[in-house]
Structure formats: structure tokens, C-alpha cells
Amino acid sequence: MGQTAYQTIDVHPLSGLLGAEIKGVNLADLDDEQFTEIRQVFLEHSVIFFRDQDLTPEHHIAFANRWGEINVNRFFKPVEGYPMIAEVSKEPDQEKNIGSNWHTDHSYDQIPALGSILYAHEVPEVGGDTMFASMYAAYDTLSDGLKETLSGLNAIHSSRHTFGRKPTNQRNQDIGGRIRNRELATQDAVHPVVIRHPDTGRKALYINSAFTVQFEGWTKEESQPLLQYLYRHAVNPTFTCRFHWEKGSVGFWDNRATWHCALNDYPGQRRFMHRITVEGVSLS
Ligand code: SIN
């Protein structure tokens, strides 16, 4: 990845493949030149981070609106008075966190989201980091033979098994208050297994273990071995970066180019974030 020179912001890559921290920016008071450069960093590094931000919900919404329309989340509890902002939380007495499996958000929608902007209000003393993986790298490092096999394939994605199912065991009960409207989990979508990113034109692997059910035209049983191989391949540590949140940190990931995974390694502590998801475009 070549280093682009930026005039209005300081850019510090987290790894050679994805992730960059951007310094010298107040997201509550952004000018157009800064925004243009931030967009460039987002497209180059796939996930961007800012620290020490002091954002009201209005600032958060205004920043999201610069990227596109806001997706009002069906399943997450909204911040009171702000339906466009979802709460991503874990209380000290709760066991499960949200997003602990590697995934990309909203792949079950016909037009999947562009990305999500997460703002940290309260973070654990230790732990609670989020990991990200580059789906460009996951695709680029496949053999020519497997690239050829995947090139003609579509996959079916669904929200039903993740958001529709009532938690049945004790361990999963506590997610209940944070995920709502389970009856609205009726979304299924078919997307190419390899997409061409709508903005960068790069090829990326577009499946994920949370929402992809099977390859189109294959049975679930036939699909699983290849899907499982790809899921393992895609999280090769070389393709990942990890972000440590502080109060006031903001992260914005590109759902078309990355997976993410929220680590659940802070028992007995609170983590409380606000998330806004920005709508995307068709990937077919
Ligand atoms: C999510 O999957 O949206 C949650 C990410 C996080 O809490 O770090």
C-alpha cells in the first residue's frame, strides 16, 4: 500500500493491509477538504479511527449524513430520542456482547450497508477491543483455481437465524433486552461471493459466518465445507488489525471490504457505544 500525502489530516496506518488512525480532526467541526481526505483514507484503508472526539448525537448524525443515508436499525435498541442511533452495549452483569463472531453487518439486506460508525461512550478498563479483517486480502491470497470457482458463485444471506431466533439457553438470555423486533427478521438476499467494491473497483470476498447460509444452487451441506474453509482463510492474522477503544474514540468500517469481531474479554465491566449505520448500494 503506497502512502498517500494528505494536506489537512495526519494518517497513521495500523497495519500494512487495513486500518488507519486519523489525527488532527474534530469530527464535530469538519470542513469539506478534511472530509474529502478522510473519504480517501477510508477507501484506502477500509477502516478508520479517530480519538478524543466529543460528539453529541447530532454531531454523530451529521458526520454519518456526509457519507449517505442513515439506516434505521430494526433490531438494536435505539438511543432514546434518536432512532437513527443504535446502542451497542454490555452491562457488568451480562455475559454476551454484541458482534462477537466475525461478520459484516447487513449482508442479509438486498442493498447492504456501506458501513457503521461506532462512537465509544464508556469502555472497560481493559479489553473490549474490536478486530477487523481485510476481505480484499482474503480474496487476493486465494489460488487462481479457487478464485475461478468462486467467480461464478452467488451466496444466500439471511437475518433469520441470527436475529429471528429466541435465545433458548441461559447464557444467551441476556442478549434479549438488546436485540428486539425478532419478528422482523425476515430478510434474505443473494449476493456475489466475490464483489467488485463499488468505489475502489477492487475485488473482495463477500460472505460471512454470521449471515451467509449457503451458495446459491448448492445445498447447505454441500456449501459448508467450502464456506468454513473461506471463513478460516479470511481471518489469517496477517489480514487483520485490532483497535483499542478509549472514551471518545470513533471507528468507521467499510462493510464491503472488511469483517469485524468485538472481543468479549471484559467480564464484570461496562462497555457502551453508539452506532450509526450508513446505507450502501447494490453489490450485484
Ligand atoms: C458490531 O458488531 O457492530 C459491534 C462492534 C463493537 O462493538 O466493537
Beta bridge mates, 88: 273
Q: Specify whether the CB–CB gap between 89 and 273 falls below 8 A.
A: yes
Q: How far is CA 65 from the centre of its chain?
A: 18
Assign 255 to helix, strand or coil: coil
Q: State pTM to two decimals.
A: 0.92
- HSE-up of 22 (CA within 13 Å, CB side)? 28
Output the nine-digit C-alpha cell for 255: 462493510
Ligand 1: atom nearest CA of 129 is 8
Tell how far the Cα of 47 is from the centroid of ligand 1, in angstroms. 13
Start-to-end C-alpha separation, the chain: 27
**pLDDT value at residue 76:** 80
Output the nine-digit C-alpha cell for 203: 475485488
Q: How far apart are CA 85 and CA 214, in angstroms?
A: 31
Quick count: other Cβ atoms within 10 Å of Cβ 112?
25
- Cβ neighbours of residue 216 closer than 8 Å, sequence gap 6 or more: 153, 154, 155, 156, 190
Tell how far the Cα of 265 is from the centroid of ligand 1, in angstroms. 13
Q: How far apart are CA 216 and CA 213, in angstroms?
A: 9
**pLDDT value at residue 91:** 93
Domains of the chain listed by start with CATH number: 10-279 (3.60.130.10)
Q: pLDDT tens, 139-193?
A: 999 999 999 999 999 999 987 666 656 544 444 555 656 666 666 656 689 999 9
Count helices and strands in the chain by DSSP H and E runs:
6, 17
Q: How far is CA 200 from the centre of its chain?
A: 17
Tell how far the Cα of 261 is from the centroid of ligand 1, in angstroms. 7
The protein residue with its alpha carbon nearest to ligand 1, atom 6, reads 262
Q: How far is CA 202 from the centre of its chain?
A: 18
Tell how far the Cα of 64 is from the centroid of ligand 1, in angstroms. 17
Q: pLDDT tens, 214-225?
A: 999 999 999 999
Closest by alpha carbon to 128, among 275, 238, 243?
Answer: 243
Tell how far the Cα of 180 is from the centroid of ligand 1, in angstroms. 17
12 is known as an active-site residue: no
Ligand 1 pocket, mutate which of 97, 101, 117, 130 (most atoms under 8 A from CB): 130
275 is known as an active-site residue: yes
Q: What angle do CA 153, 231, 243 make, to 5 degrees?
A: 125
E-strand ranges in the chain read 10-13, 20-23, 47-50, 70-71, 78-79, 82-90, 115-122, 130-134, 154-158, 188-192, 194-196, 203-205, 212-215, 240-243, 250-254, 258-262, 271-278
182 is known as an active-site residue: no
Pocket around ligand 1: residues whose beta carbon is below 6 Å from it?
A: 88, 98-99, 116, 118, 130, 260, 262, 273, 275
Name the catalytic one among 105, 106, 191, 271.
105
105 is known as an active-site residue: yes
DSSP string, 264-281: ---TT--EEEEEEEE---
Query: Which strand ranges, in their side-by-side order, compose the sheet holding 130-134?
Result: 240-243, 130-134, 258-262
Q: pLDDT tens, 94-142?
A: 998 999 999 999 898 889 999 999 999 999 999 999 999 999 999 999 9
**pLDDT value at residue 38:** 98
Q: pLDDT tens, 242-255?
A: 999 999 999 999 99
Task: Report the chain's C-alpha Rg in angstroms.
Answer: 18
